[in-house]
Amino acid sequence: DFLNNTPISLDVLKEDTLLCIKIMLKNGENTSMVEIRGTHTNIVKMEKDGFVVLDNDCLESNKNVETLFNEMTIQSIYDFACSLDCNDLKDCLLRQVKYNHNIALEGLKGQYGANIGRVILETEGDSVRNRAKAMAAAGSDARMSGSEMPVIINSGSGNQGITISLPVYEYAKHLNVNEDTFVRALALANLIAIHIKRGIGSLSAFCGAVSAGCGAGAGVAFLHDGDYNCIAHTVSNSLGILSGTICDGAKASCAAKIAYAVDAGILGYFMYTKGKEFYRGDGIISNNVEKTIKNIYRLGKLGMAQTDKEILSIMTDDVCD
pTM above 0.85, yes or no: yes
Sketch the domain layout of the chain as residue ranges: 2-55, 63-314
Q: At 21, is the secondary structure helix, strand, or coil?
A: strand
Side-chain-facing half-sphere of 278: CA atoms under 13 Å: 22
pLDDT of residue 18: 74
Sign of CA dihedral 123, 125, 131, 133: negative
How far apart are alpha carbons 167 and 136 in whole angstroms? 7
Average pLDDT by consecutive 10-residue portion of the chain (321 residues)?
85 81 94 91 93 81 73 97 98 98 99 98 97 99 98 95 99 99 99 94 89 98 99 98 93 98 99 98 96 96 90 80 56
Give the model's pLDDT for residue 2: 82
| Domain 63-314 CATH class label | mainly alpha
Identify the pLDDT of residue 39: 80
Give the pLDDT confidence score for residue 17 in this predicted structure.
Answer: 76
Kindly provide the residue ranges of all beta strands, DSSP E only, lying in the chain, ordered along the sequence.
Answer: 20-27, 30-37, 43-48, 51-55
DSSP H or E run through 243: none
